[in-house]
Structure formats: structure tokens, C-alpha cells
Chain A
Amino acid sequence: MRDPAAEIRKGVRAAAPSIEGGPRLSNRARERIAGYLFVAPDAIGLLIFVGGPMILSLSLGFFSVSGFGEYAFVGLGNYRRMIADPLFWRSLEVTILYVVALVPSLYVVGLGLALLVQTNSRFNTVVRSLLFMPQTVSLVVVGLVWQVLLVDKIGLFNQFGAALNLQSISWLGDPRFALFTVIGISVWFLMGFYMLIFLGGLQDIPREYYEAARIDGAGPVQSFLKITLPLLQPTSFFVLLVSTVAAVCGSQTFDLIYIMTKGGPANSTSLAIFYIYQQAFLFNEYGYAAAMASVLVVVLMAITVLLFILTRGGRFTYG
């Protein structure tokens, strides 16, 4: 695994017909060996750096880990502590609010934008790229730019607000608004991506269906409800699943909070994923953090299953 070149060389030797007259491998065996060797680097890497940590995370939750790396088995201790930790419950509450607000917003905005720019024209190509542009910028930069735009009183948003005779709002400093500000920025950042995913789905719907519906006298609303939405079901499932995962534990969730609010004010933006990070790397509570991460994984799995049932299997392909 450490030396891919050696592995490839081995693969060549195994796959090459042995001209020197050694024991010839059957074609079937050659194909098998080549298959395993080709998959090996990624399979082993994913096992070590994704699958392994996932399993490690589930078991780490039963240990208490000191800053020096000493482990002590504490059974359900971390979980008991969690139940009694008001900040943990607060972070779950914030996470649920964030998901419930962000996922439907992204769905509606993404689909809306896709419908708006779905016809292929040079103009729409430019508009699509511009709408996608925020995605290319890092979340650290996004967080910094929005922070300066939203500065109290003298920030651009509050200046424009003042011009419209609105009261100056502390977008990130007021516990009533901070989370919704972050949600708005997340939508701005992510919408271009989901727009493109929806565009891909829309293009797979045969034009003739719309033609037929129009001849039958269906209006645009009707053909949207009766043709677009049902045939978009696989895309919708994909979008809901991916955006839910992203909302619970995506990097945009963590990065934005880290840069903009650090969980504040008054813990109003303390998303679970950020609280876990704080516990682990600010207070060295690795075991406790892992236990909370396990709860998050269970919640995510439950959401996935629920989505699967709600979308009746959520097939990724038609038919």
C-alpha cells in the first residue's frame, strides 16, 4: 500500500503472459488477480482512513482518553454524561433547526434556479456559471467576506438597510438572528451545486412529454406537478440525502461556524459537529467527542432510512 509502484509492477508481472514458459495462468485467474490489484490501493486506503476511523469512533465512545493518549474503559460513562450535558442537547437542537431550515431551502432554491436557467443558451450558460461561482471559493474566505459585509452598523448590509430606513441588525451578534444568517450564507454557497444537479435531472426528462401535455391543454403549473416533479424523483432523493448529510456534518457547516461565530452568541449557532470539535480539540475530551459523533452517525443513518422509505426506495435509476 505504501509503494503503489511496486504493486503495479507486481500487477504487470501477474497479468503478463509468461513468455519464459513458467506455469501459465488461465485467463480467468489473470483477470481476477488484476482486478484485486487494481482495486487494492483505494480499497485499503478507504478502509484505513475512512472505514476504520468510523468503526474506531463507535468504540472510542466507551473510553476516556487523556491528553497523553492513555485510554480507560468507562462503559456508558460518556453517554451518561451526554444525557446530563445541557450544551449537548442545545447543540442537537441547533442542528435540527439548521437541517430543517437549510435542506428545504436548498431544494426549493436549487430547483427554482435550475428551472430558471434550464434552456440552453449562451446567456444561461453565463448565468449558471455565475450562480455556481460561490462554490469555487473556500469557506474560510466565504466566512470572512460575509463577516465584513454584515459588520454591525457600518457593514454594507446595515448601510443598505439604513438607506431603506430599517433598524441596524446585529446579524451575527444577536442570538435570534445568528443561526438564520449562517443558514442564508450556506444557501448562497451551496445553491449553485444543487442547481447543477437538478439541471442534470431535468435534461433527462424527454421533451415529448411536455409537448404532449401542452397539446392536451396542460398549463406550466400542471406539467410541472404532473411531469417534472414525479420524473425528478431520483434527483430529488439524491439532493435531499446529500444536502441532509452536508447540513448535519458537511465541512461547510463546520468551517463557517469556526470562522464566523465559534458557536456563539449564547450557543445559538453551536451545531453538534462544532461542539464535538470543541470537546475534542479544545478540551482534549476525545472519548466524549467520539461518543457524541456516534450519536450523530446514528441520527444520520436514521434520516437516510427515513428518506429511503419516504421516497419509496429512492431508486437512483429510472425503471
Chain B
Amino acid sequence: MAEIASRAEFSADDADERRRLHVVRLVLYVVSSALAFMTVAPLFYMLSMSLKQTNEVFGTNLVPHHPTLGNFVYVFTQVDFIRFLWNTFFVSAVVTVIALIFHSMAGYALARLRFPGRDAIFLAMFATFLISQPVIIVPLFILARTLHLLDSYAGLIVPSIFNAFGIFLLRQFYLGIPRELEEAALIDGASYFRIWRSIILPLSRPILSALAILFFLANWNSFLWPLTIISDQDLWMVQVAIANFHQQYNGSWNYIMAASTVVALPTIVMFVIFQKRIVESIKTSGVK
């Protein structure tokens, strides 16, 4: 009896409950749309200001009244921006490719091959995860000076290759690949290098592409290291270039925003294209 009564009560509440859920969902939609808009608004204003004329820069209107590309023309003609963009692209691409090869090899060995000291090596590598570059910037600079890496592409590239994050993620990924594939190849007499090259690498294409994007973005956006070891203007990376541009054209915000847009647009576009991959790889990187 009691059971039937409660069940009847339940269905009477159902419609009410559903209406309440609708309201909740509507509120959530509004709140998250508003937050998302507020989050990207500063970036839209950057774009907007880069298209505005000097007298209009501080207007609250997001859409310029008299849009102009003059600021961009000015930036590209006043400083050698093409060169800085090329430097940055070159360094970021080389670092990304070498890092992926090294990290994939290390990740594979740490996940699969048995050799004495493996776990200790992994732990030591993982510990470096907590050492951020600003903390060791002084000795790193002295080391680079000793190795004659100041003011060179090698100085920009080599120290940026090594980071524990990539090794860690790849090892995690390789732990999840079934062993059978490699065992068959081993019995056929393939070397470990062959196995890595023709079985492991093709299998890791999805995670490698996600990491490639993350590494490229990180290097494109890096500032402290290029700032520290480069004084030769021909080797400037783009972030250092706009920081200097800002000092030189202090107050000419339409030019500064145009330069910022040129620097930020490639990364934003890259993110929009690959967002699914990037979001997934970060989501799984936290706890494993």
C-alpha cells in the first residue's frame, strides 16, 4: 500500500521536477554563455583596436567606425616583423620535431623495455617536472654562455627540447598499447629500433599530433629564454620583438595591438582548428 502511494506521489512530482530542470538548464545556458563571452572579449578588443584609427582606439565600440589596415602596414614596414616571425616559426618547428622523436623513444623504453634502473630514471625525470625555467634561469644562462650558445639558433633550440611533461604523457600512452604487436615482430627478429619506428610511431600518431600542437604553441609563446640569451636583433623571437615594440611605441596602442594580433592570430587559429585534440589531451594529462 505504502509503496503504491509513494509511487503515485512520485509521478505527480515528475512534471514539476521536469519544469524545474528546464529552468535550471536555461540558467546554466545563460551563465555559461555570459562567462564564455566575457572570457574572450579582451581578445576581440585586441582585434578591434588593431583595426581602429588612432583617435578611435579608446572608443567602447567593438566594431570600428572607420576600420583600417594601416596599423598592420605600419608594423610590418617599421620593424622587420617577417624575420621575427620566421625565426619563431623555425625554432618552434625544430624544437617540436626533435622533442617528439626523443620523448617518444624515451617514453617507449620507460613503458616497455626492461633494464636495470628504469624506474629510478623515470622518477628522476618526473622530478624535473617541478623545476620551472625561471628558477634555474641564472645557471642556465651561465651554462649557455660557457657552451657558446648565446645569440644563436642552437641556444634557442637545444635547451627548449627537454621537458618531462611530454615523456610522461607518451609513457602513459605506451603503457596502454597491447604487447602482442611487438612480440610478434620480436619473434620475427626485428630490432627494437625497427619496432619503435614501424609499429610504435604509427600507433602514436594521435597523441604525437596533440603534443606537436602543444609544443609548438609553447615555443611560439615563450618569452623568458629568448629574452635572456638573445641580444642580436636578427635572432629576435616574436614575443621579444613585441615587448620591445611596446617600449619603443609606448602609447601608440593601435600599432601595439596590431603587432599583438599578428603574433596571437596564428596560435588562436591553430587552437580553433585543433581544439578537440588539445582539449582531450589536456583533460587526460591531469590524473593518471
Tell whether A and B belong to one assembly: yes
Most buried by B among A132, A146, A289: A132
Q: Is there an interface contact between A134 and B39, defined as CB atoms closer than 8 Å?
A: yes
B15, CB-defined interface residue at 8 Å: no
Q: Is there an interface contact between B138 and A57, defined as CB atoms closer than 8 Å?
A: yes
Binary CB contact string for chain B from 21 to 39 against chain A (1 if under 8 A, 0 otherwise):
0000000110111011101
The verdict on A45 contacting B161 (CB below 8 Å), with A50-B136, A127-B32 known, is yes
Binary CB contact string for chain A from 121 to 132 against chain B (1 if under 8 A, 0 otherwise):
001111111111
Q: Is there an interface contact between B106 and A43, defined as CB atoms closer than 8 Å?
A: yes
The verdict on A251 contacting B43 (CB below 8 Å), with A45-B102, A286-B138 known, is no
Q: Is there an interface contact between A258 and B138, defined as CB atoms closer than 8 Å?
A: no
Q: Is there an interface contact between B139 and A131, defined as CB atoms closer than 8 Å?
A: no
A21, CB-defined interface residue at 8 Å: no
Binary CB contact string for chain B from 255 to 280 against chain A (1 if under 8 A, 0 otherwise):
01100100110011011100110110
B287: which of A113, A200, A251, A273 is its contact (CB, 8 Å)? A200
Q: Is there an interface contact between B35 and A277, defined as CB atoms closer than 8 Å?
A: no
Q: How far is the CB of A33 from chain B (nearest CB, A)?
A: 8
B103 contacts which chain A residues (CB < 8 A)? 42
B36 contacts which chain A residues (CB < 8 A)? 126-127, 130-131
**Nearest chain B residue, comparing its CB with the CB of A279:** B138
Q: Is there an interface contact between A200 and B283, defined as CB atoms closer than 8 Å?
A: yes
Q: Is there an interface contact between B140 and A53, defined as CB atoms closer than 8 Å?
A: yes
Q: How far is the CB of B225 from chain A (nearest CB, A)?
A: 9
B116 contacts which chain A residues (CB < 8 A)? 32
A128: which of B45, B159, B279, B288 is its contact (CB, 8 Å)? B279
Within the assembled complex, what's the spacing in Å between the Cα atoms of A60 and B141?
12
A12 contacts which chain B residues (CB < 8 A)? 191, 193-194
**Nearest chain B residue, comparing its CB with the CB of A153:** B58
A300 contacts which chain B residues (CB < 8 A)? 130, 135
B133 contacts which chain A residues (CB < 8 A)? 251
**Nearest chain B residue, comparing its CB with the CB of A285:** B138
Kindly identify, within residues 136 to 180 of chain B, every residue whose CB is under 8 Å from any CB belonging to chain A: 136-143, 145, 158-159, 161-162, 164, 167
B136: which of A193, A238, A255, A293 is its contact (CB, 8 Å)? A293
Q: Is there an interface contact between A38 and B105, defined as CB atoms closer than 8 Å?
A: yes
**Nearest chain B residue, comparing its CB with the CB of A57:** B139
Q: Is there an interface contact between B267 and A138, defined as CB atoms closer than 8 Å?
A: yes
Q: How far is the CB of B99 from chain A (nearest CB, A)?
A: 9
Q: How far is the CB of B164 from chain A (nearest CB, A)?
A: 7
* The stretch of B64-72, B78-86, B204-212, B216-224 that contacts the partner chain: B216-224
Within the assembled complex, what's the spacing in Å between the Cα atoms of A192 and B102?
29
The verdict on A35 contacting B115 (CB below 8 Å), with A144-B257, A155-B58, A251-B133 known, is yes
Interface of A is mostly: helix
Within the assembled complex, what's the spacing in Å between the Cα atoms of A57 and B134?
12
Number of A residues near B (Cβ < 8 Å) is: 106
Q: Is there an interface contact between B257 and A148, defined as CB atoms closer than 8 Å?
A: yes
Q: How far is the CB of B74 from chain A (nearest CB, A)?
A: 16
B49, CB-defined interface residue at 8 Å: yes
**Nearest chain A residue, comparing its CB with the CB of B254:** A148
Q: Is there an interface contact between B143 and A35, defined as CB atoms closer than 8 Å?
A: no
B109: which of A38, A255, A293 is its contact (CB, 8 Å)? A38
Most buried by B among A42, A138, A144, A259: A42
B283: which of A138, A196, A249 is its contact (CB, 8 Å)? A196
Q: Is there an interface contact between B139 and A250, defined as CB atoms closer than 8 Å?
A: no
Q: Is there an interface contact between A138 and B263, defined as CB atoms closer than 8 Å?
A: yes
A39 contacts which chain B residues (CB < 8 A)? 105-106, 109-110, 118, 121
A-B contact pairs, 10 of them (CB 8 A): A27-B186, A48-B143, A126-B36, A133-B39, A138-B267, A140-B223, A200-B283, A234-B287, A249-B132, A249-B134
Chain B residues in the interface with A (C-beta under 8 A): 28-29, 31-33, 35-37, 39-40, 42-43, 45-46, 49, 57-58, 60, 98, 101-103, 105-106, 108-110, 113-116, 118, 121, 124-125, 128, 130-143, 145, 158-159, 161-162, 164, 167, 186, 189, 191-194, 196, 217, 220-224, 227-228, 239, 242-243, 246, 253, 256-257, 260, 263-264, 267-268, 270-272, 275-276, 278-279, 282-288
